[in-house]
Chain A
């Protein structure tokens, strides 16, 4: 089944403890991206990648890192999480930079205390 898989679904951590949220897609998509969803603010793009080794900042990149070493994986790294990064995170992918619909993962709910 074609899908975008995120792990974990739920994560509670403490301030400053490094964490990684994984994202993998099995559709051979070139474009992958990360979003956070907050009440009243909607979804905001954190980072995106147009292909392997090509990444770029979205609207809210501060406090996040990404890497794209393989086409199928696009992990989101929080080196030193803070409470204002408590949010619902989504990974998404599409066939190309301007091709095809965005396919979303099921989300990761992160709480930073």
Chain B
């Protein structure tokens, strides 16, 4: 069964810093990987979707990479802002049509 791990569980950085969030998965047979943001009491907002054939995707200050063979993805956030404070989750879409989520990294950006 697919297992998805996100380390660290929590991260605190000063405003303006560049940072990297990590996601690892045990089964490389995936269709895609998606990064989400979750604000307290809210649903999940999709940030980036990377197909299994792609290496990276970019949206504004966000860049996500995928190394399927090693079972790793990273989310790079450039020039962090207090508004980036949230929990970030990654999810892999397995070949069995199910989704598997990590437990998230709680990010705090200090003004």
Binding site for B on A (CB under 8 A): 4, 31, 33, 35, 40-45, 48, 50, 56, 58-59, 90, 92, 97-98, 100-107
Contacts and interface: CB of A to CB of B under 8 A. Distances in A.
B102 interface: yes
A interface secondary structure, majority:
strand
Contact of A41 (B32, B89, B97, B103): B103
Which has the most chain A C-beta neighbours within 10 Å: B36, B41, B99? B99
A103 B44 CA distance: 8
B97 A56 contact: yes
Q: Is the interface of B mostly helix, strand, loop or mixed?
A: strand
Interface in B1-41: 1, 4, 31-32, 34, 36, 41
Contact of A42 (B45, B46, B98, B101): B101
Contacts of B1: 59
Contacts of B91: 43, 102
